[in-house]
Amino acid sequence: MLTATIIQSALFWEDKLANLLQFEQKINAITQKTNLVVLPEMFSTGFSMRAKELAETMDGPTVTWMKKIAIDHKIILTGSVIIEENQQYFNRLIFMLPNGSFGYYNKRHLFAFAGEDKHYTAGTKRLITSVNGFKIQLLVCYDLRFPVWTRQADQANPEYDILIVVANWPATRSHAWKTLLAARAIENQCYVIGVNRVGEDGNKNYHSGDSTIIDPLGNILFTQADEPVVHSIELHKETLNEIRSKFPFGKDADAFQIIQ
């Protein structure tokens, strides 16, 4: 079993201190024992294109804060931040473990519609990690639109069991967000956890949240629109295995390779 907690929140535009303070307060208020806490995309700044001004290194204040929170609360903490490395800027999802070690995933698909590709460098590698018997793949926002990047390469022997998507997905395209989350769950026979922000950002884009947890059949286990929410849920490997065994659609899937 894995207990996951999602935090859907408004973000203070380009104000790291205010965002870290509010998320620390929200995490401190969680009373249920949880293994994993998921924050939105660019949770310390909002979805800003001011990469040069806002970027930090991997030993900067936000990653240091994540490490402290994870160690103090004995949780895994994940969400994306703006990172500078070798004079390049990344929208980087950090997967911080309770012992202070971490993995990371650089957003693969940059949102050219908002100019993200002009300010950030695209990632080239997927990150699949393991927690409590579950394998977890991690995505950032726009990645959700591209099924090949998330597709189980061997459907008969799935690479992962949970897909986590952190986002700043605007309300004007909320139907696509909700539809794509369900599609990824159904086609990959996995749990999907989508965590979005709420409220208006510095560019006057409104976000309705619609953070959602979906089972491998596409059924919605939890969703919340427009309001901040902290919600914990238990995910069971037995349920997942039963679904995959009862509906072994993976054995009929097309073989393919992702060529970089």
Q: Which residues are designated catalytic?
A: 41, 107, 141
Q: Residue 66: in which H helix or E strand, if any?
A: helix 61-73
* CA 28 centroid distance within chain: 20
Distance CA 138, CA 184 (A): 13
Please name the amino acid found at residue 31. T
Query: Is the CB of residue 206 less than 8 Å from the CB of residue 199?
Result: yes
Q: Which residues are within 8 A (CB) of 96 and not within 5 positions of it... i.e. 6 or more apart?
A: 63, 66, 67, 69, 70, 76, 77, 78, 102
The length of the chain in residues reads 260
Q: Residue 84: in which H helix or E strand, if any?
A: strand 76-85
* CA 56 centroid distance within chain: 20
Query: Is the CB of residue 56 less than 8 Å from the CB of residue 84?
Result: yes
Distance CA 1, CA 131 (A): 9
Query: Is the CB of residue 252 less than 8 Å from the CB of residue 260?
Result: no
